[in-house]
Amino acid sequence: MGKYQRNGLQISLAVIMSLSLTWVILLQSLTYCCFNRQFYQDNFRKLQTSTKVDIDAADLNKSVDCLFDYLLQRRDDLNLQVRLLSTGQKTEMFNRREKDHMVDVKSLLQRVMFSQKAALTLFVLLFLLLPLLYRRAAATLWTDYLLSYRAGFIGGIVTALVFIALVAVFAACDFSTFWWKFHELLFTNDLWQLDPAESRLINLVEGEFFSNLVQYIISVTVTALVVAYALILLVLRILLKLSRKLRTLG
């Protein structure tokens, strides 16, 4: 344990605090990627989505805006008229089954956002609570406190990266199975099982699109986590040096 003995409870709470921060960063990365209009436009061009969905680029963008506004509670419905390229006729972009499925997606997103706020609250509470667990002399308190923080954050980032690596390997090896299991885990009904022959939504965000999205989310999340934790550990290292120096002088 080194020169300064650390209590297992303190380190455990530091790990939980670290994982709470990880969850906040992960969900922030997730929402950033999922609501990145430029990502959608780039993939629509690459995958020739306009032809597959039978609507032009302008209506594609309107459809994405409609979905975003609905999920972010800026509109109450998914009623949107688009013009078919093949016939020139106007029709509803989304059918009843798609709209019902998006009700589930919207509910899931609200729960995710709530969990992010809860994780941030837990992080702040543990950040304030951890110093109260120390009953040592003031000369050693900050050093022990910072050591617990460092141990906790290292444990948290290692746990997070291992989990992300496992998900990435699963998705890379068999994306279809990964996506199927992912939906079975998140939804209690089969509304997400949309027929490509009838559903514009499933053709709007087809399998290759989702595969690209998952890769995008993983790369952004890993980058954000590594940068955040590198900065945190750098700050802790500087503070530890300062704390030990002050203790020596004291």
Q: Is the pLDDT of residue 66 over 70?
A: yes
Q: Is the pLDDT of residue 74 over 60?
A: yes
14-50 residue pLDDT tens: 888 888 988 999 999 999 999 999 999 999 999 999 9
CA atoms within a 13 Å half-sphere pointing along the CA-CB vector of 192: 18
Q: How far apart are CA 245 and CA 83, in angstroms?
A: 71
Residue 184, token pair as written in the block: 């079975």
Residues 151/14, Cβ–Cβ less than 8 Å: yes
* pLDDT value of position 153: 80
Residue 126, token pair as written in the block: 């543990």
Residues 17/130, Cβ–Cβ less than 8 Å: yes
- Residues 6 or more apart in contact with residue 247 via CB below 8 angstroms: 139, 140, 143
Q: Which residue has the higher pLDDT, 140 or 207?
A: 207
Q: What confidence tier does 174 reach under pLDDT thresholds 50, 70, 90?
A: confident
177-226 residue pLDDT tens: 888 888 899 898 999 998 888 889 988 888 889 889 989 998 999 899 88
Q: Is the pLDDT of residue 136 over 60?
A: no
Average pLDDT of the chain to the nearest whole number: 85
Q: At what angle do helices 138-173 and 8-34 cross, to 10 degrees?
A: 40
> Could you tell me what percent of the chain has a pLDDT over 70?
88
* pLDDT value of position 196: 85
229-242 residue pLDDT tens: 888 888 888 877 77
Q: Which residue has the higher pLDDT, 198 or 141?
A: 198
146-160 residue pLDDT tens: 777 788 788 878 888
Q: Is the pLDDT of residue 228 over 60?
A: yes
Residues 60/204, Cβ–Cβ less than 8 Å: yes
* pLDDT value of position 137: 47
* pLDDT value of position 36: 94
- Residues 6 or more apart in contact with residue 168 via CB below 8 angstroms: 218
If you average pLDDT over residues 74-95, what whole number do you get?
Answer: 93
